[in-house]
Structure 1
Amino acid sequence: MKDVTTPAPTNLRQALLAATTRLREAGIEAPQREARLLAAHAARTDLAGLLRIDTLPAAAAETLDHILARRLRHEPMAYITGQAGFWTLDLEVSRHTLIPRGDSETLVEAVLDHLPDRNAPLRVLDIGTGTGCLMLAVLAEYPRASAIGTDLAPQAAALAARNATRNGLGARCTTVCCNWADAVTGPFDLVLSNPPYIPHEDLAGLMPDVVEHEPARALDGGEDGLVAYRALGNALPGLFAPGGIAVLELGIGQGEDVSAIMRAAGLEVTEIRPDLGGIGRALVVKK
């Protein structure tokens, strides 16, 4: 009879040191923190809980080996854990959507300043909703608002719906699989969008975490990075309610070009708001 030996538990400190070394050699930023995040995920705890652990059970050690190998291939941490934080939300993420980024919170800040009445019954449209992060952050701040999120990918539309339910916002949110705003009708008090804006030839120069793992359709802005903004410029005038605004995410250095597109569509540009890095990130327009 074959002897089956149960794998021995693993000393956590040694596992963290080994993982940190391998992550550093792979060029992963903040390798020590990344190693701890991976270990916490493998142990089904958080960073605080990890402080109370000396030894990883065999199953957790095996999981750590597996997810460490994925991270060494530059798979983003959010795809490994299946979740990401945005604004006040805890979101599910998948390979069918971009990972929410802190820079995009600039759009939410702009909304709060331009629409200061938190009790307004806003009707919100999020074009290319992805995880739903933008519209759900707005719904969390405006308790009487309702939202429609559109996405060309059915998997993304379904994910946004799950995130709405996950954050207790499902009753005020609908997701639709369609191209831009083709399947919805206005008027809307607020239109949000984080469109694909990377010029096609620049995609290859992005970090491997991004270009090798995140969906190209959500990144590729065409030859000049502005294809999506032209589509939005055509659509927005017919979507606004009286006094309505749109808040659009911008790529680096795109403020002037996108502003020109919006003005040519008969819209007024009221603000280009910088993110914490000083990059013009949120374009606010109205009729």
Structure 2
Amino acid sequence: MNLTLEQALSFGQETLLASSLELSPAEAFKKARLLLAHVLKKDPSYLYGFSERVLSAQEQTLFKDLILKAIQGMPLSRILEQREFWSLPFSLNVATLDPRPDSEVILDVALNLLKGHNTSLRILDLGTGSGCLLLSLLHMLPNAEGVGVDLSFKAALCARQNAFNLDLSQRASFIQGSWTEALSGKFDLIVSNPPYIPTSEIPHLDPSVRLFDPFLALDGGIDGLDPYRNLIPKFKDLLSPKGFVLVEIGSTQSFDVEKIFQAENFQNIMCYQDIERRPRVISAYV
């Protein structure tokens, strides 16, 4: 027998509560509600007004499949293939990192350092993934345009679709490439959230990261610093005379990454903390 929306919500909540996820009743209900709304392609509020509507066989099968994925540990953002970042919706795919709130520190710092800057800006985002950093900046900076680069063609396509969805395609372009290869011209701001997890630590990451984020977006080499050693020497050739760079770092990497910037004679090197007071972003001027 096919379930009504009310019955499907109860089934989803009870199934999630009985799993090993250790959810509260409210958390289980919220997750079930979001999954059911996703199946129906409706806003979650729809479920309250049509609680007696009966699911089709196809909808019911899909909903149960999504509940199964949830109890197996797949993050909600991966099931829905969407994540809110900087209060904007971003589509995800298997080639993109799932953006975390920690990365919003880059945006906070960038907007603070650019305060009062009213002229046009050119921004580069290296390892762009879903395009969340570049597109969030363009959303806030109407005089800016930018380029996002990712080694994964599939990630670049995802970022391009997000630009279209956010009505930013006219000011954003995304290309597949290896870091700074094939780039030309100067940029006023370079942002990057490169892979910075030491290879040996990846097997010990939380399963929600280890099993569902692309290895390419996590692996920073033996000590997690390979991308910084690769990128920082190249930044100067890409930055405009008063340009600056913002890179995300692991919470124990501030000293080592600052040393790499110092060795390349960057100026005004500063480290910024995330909401948990952990080192998270380094800024440096050419």
Please give the TM-score of this superposition, normalised by the length of structure 1.
Answer: 0.91
After TM superposition, the structure 1 = structure 2 runs for residues 46-61 of structure 1, keeping only pairs within 5 Å, are 46-55=43-52, 57-58=55-56, 59-61=58-60
Aligned AA (1:9): L
> In 2, distance between residues paired with 1:93 and 1:157?
11
Does residue 42 of structure 1 match 2:39? Answer: yes
User: What is the aligned partner in structure 2 of residue 153 from structure 1?
Assistant: 152
Deviation for aligned residue 1:27: 5.0
Contact 1:118-1:143 at 8 Å conserved across structures: no
- Distance in 2 of aligned mates of 1:158 and 1:102: 23
Q: For the residues of structure 2 that align with 1:57 and 1:209, how far apart are their CA atoms? A: 30
Deviation at 1:63, TM superposition (A): 1.7
Q: 2:2 — aligned with what? A: 8
Q: What percent of counterpart residues are identical?
A: 32
Count of aligned pairs: 280
The one-character-per-residue Cα deviations of 1:176-215 (angstroms, maximum 9, x if unpaired) are 1111111102311000000000111110111111111110
What is the distance in 1 between the residues matched to 2:22 and 2:258? 38
- CA separation in 2, counterparts of 1:127 and 1:134? 10
Residue segments in structure 2 that go unaligned for 5+ positions in a row:
none
Match for residue 20 of structure 2 among 25, 39, 50: 25
2:146–2:171 contact (8 Å) kept in structure 1:
yes
Equivalences for residues 197-236 of structure 1 within 5 A: 197-236=196-235
Q: CA deviation at 1:53?
A: 4.2
Would the alpha carbon gap of residues 217 and 269 (structure 1) be closer, same or farther in structure 2, given more than 3 Å must change?
farther
Tell me how far 1:249 sits from its aligned partner: 0.7
Please list, as runs of the form range in 1=range in 2, the aligned pairs for 1:143-182 lying within 5 A after superposition: 143-182=142-181
Distance 2:167 2:128 in 1: 17
2: CA distance, partners of 1:28 / 1:128 = 34
Whether the aligned pair in 1 keeps the contact of 2:258 and 2:269 (CA below 8 Å) is: no
1:164–1:17 CA distance, 2 compared to 1 (3 A): closer
Q: CA deviation digits over 1:230-282, x for unaligned, max 9?
A: 11112111111011010111111211111111111111243211111111111
Residue 227 of structure 2 aligns with an amino acid whose one-letter code is A
In 2, the alpha carbon distance for the partners of 1:107 and 1:205 equals 26
Structure 1: gaps (5+ residues): 1-6
Number of the residue aligned with 1:4: none
- Aligned mates of 2:114, 2:255 — CA distance in 1: 24
Deviations 1:14-73 (A, max 9, x none): 313323224x42456844432332222223333333333434513433221011112222
Partner in structure 1 of residue 264 of structure 2 = 265
Tell me the distance in 2 between the aligned counterparts of 1:188 and 1:125: 6
Distance 1:201 1:28, change over 3 A: farther
Deviates more, 1:212-221 or 1:9-18: 9-18
Deviates more, 1:217-226 or 1:36-45: 36-45
Could you say what secondary structure the match of 1:25 adopts? coil
Aligned to 1:3: none
- Cross-structure match for 2:120: 121
CA drift of 1:118 comes to 5.2
2:20 is matched by which residue type in structure 1? E
The 1:169/1:201 distance shift into structure 2, 3 A limit, reads same
- Rounded to whole Å, the distance in 1 between the matches of 2:23 and 2:71 is 8
Q: Give the secondary structure class of the aligned counterpart of 1:90.
A: strand
Letter matched to residue 157 of structure 1: A
The TM-score normalised by the length of structure 2 is 0.91
